[in-house]
Amino acid sequence: MLEKSTIWYPSWKDCSFKVIDMAFLKILDAKYLSGYKIQLWFSNGEVRIADLADSITGPVFEPLKDLGFFVQFSIPFNTLEWPNGADFSPEYLYEISTVQRDCV
Cα–Cα distances (Å) from 31 to 16, 50, 79, in that order, read 27, 11, 13
- Cα separation of 38 and 93, whole Å? 10
With 0.85 as the threshold, say if the pTM is over it: no
Q: Are 9 and 26 in contact (CB under 8 A)?
A: no
Q: Are residues 1 and 65 in contact, defined by beta-carbon separation less than 8 angstroms?
A: no
**Which H/E stretch holds residue 6?**
strand 6-10
62 vs 23, residue with greater confidence: 62
61 or 18, which is more confident:
61
Predicted confidence (pLDDT) per residue in 22-58, tens digit: 568 999 999 999 999 999 999 999 999 999 999 999 9
CATH number of 26-99: 3.30.2020.10
